[in-house]
Amino acid sequence: MATASTTPFEELTKLATDFVTSQSGMWDHKAWVDFLARVQQQDVAVAEDMQSKLGDLLEALKTYHTALAATDDIEQAMRTVSDESVAFIMRQKGVWGHSEWEDFVTTMQRNARTWSDGTEAYLGGVLESLKAFYALSPAADVQQSAPAVPTAFSLTSSPASVRRQPGKRDDLTAITGLGPALAKKLHQEGIVTYAQLAELSDRNIAHLEKNVIKSTGRFKRDDWVGQAKKLAQA
């Protein structure tokens, strides 16, 4: 269960890591269904569109688990890669470059009991699956205290546009069809500038319409992205 000291993203990753470790990297469909049920028992919500990403995460962790098969304390090794990966992704808000990746690999080499080029490749797989999962996870729910920083949408928003205008908040209600109530919901998702709204991907928009504003087709009908682009350039 997520607590005041942990985010849903952290808790879900921990549950996934524990599941892969307890199953010794092997499971069937029944075990997967039981795992989902156990997640729900912990009061951690997993939307339907997140289940496939959670499945991808389990597969990546399974591959890493197999690579660590000869490690003396594989449970500790799995916890280490899980904790370090989650901390890295949350610290980077889901966006990083080659230098950050190299720093992360160096940290993992220092903490890992065994290491090889293959391990690095498998670690990359874990990180990429976690990044995709982070984009759809409820991680934003506990990061709202950081204004003007996109949370769940960091992967598809332009980092450059956020850096150019730190702390900026635009009046989203200037967009036709986007009233104060909807603007507040977007703010809660970390979307506070015209630039962020203008750069949302189709996947982000689908998520917002289904899970946040509860109005399918609203973005396209009122051309919120097009309006936001014009306002961002004004």
pTM: 0.56
Among 13-22, 32-41, 69-78, which is the least confidently predicted range? Answer: 69-78
CA dist., res. 198 & res. 231, Å (int): 9
User: What number is the average pLDDT over the span 32-48?
Assistant: 78
Q: What percent of the chain is modeled with pLDDT above 70?
A: 78
For residue 66, what is the enclosing H or E element? helix 48-67
Per-residue pLDDT averaged across 163-188, rounded?
77
What ranges do the domains of the chain cover? 8-141, 144-233
What pLDDT score was predicted for residue 148? 33
Taking the C-alpha atoms of residue 234 and residue 230, their distance in angstroms, rounded to an integer, is 6
Nearest to 202 by CA among 184, 220, 189, 228: 220
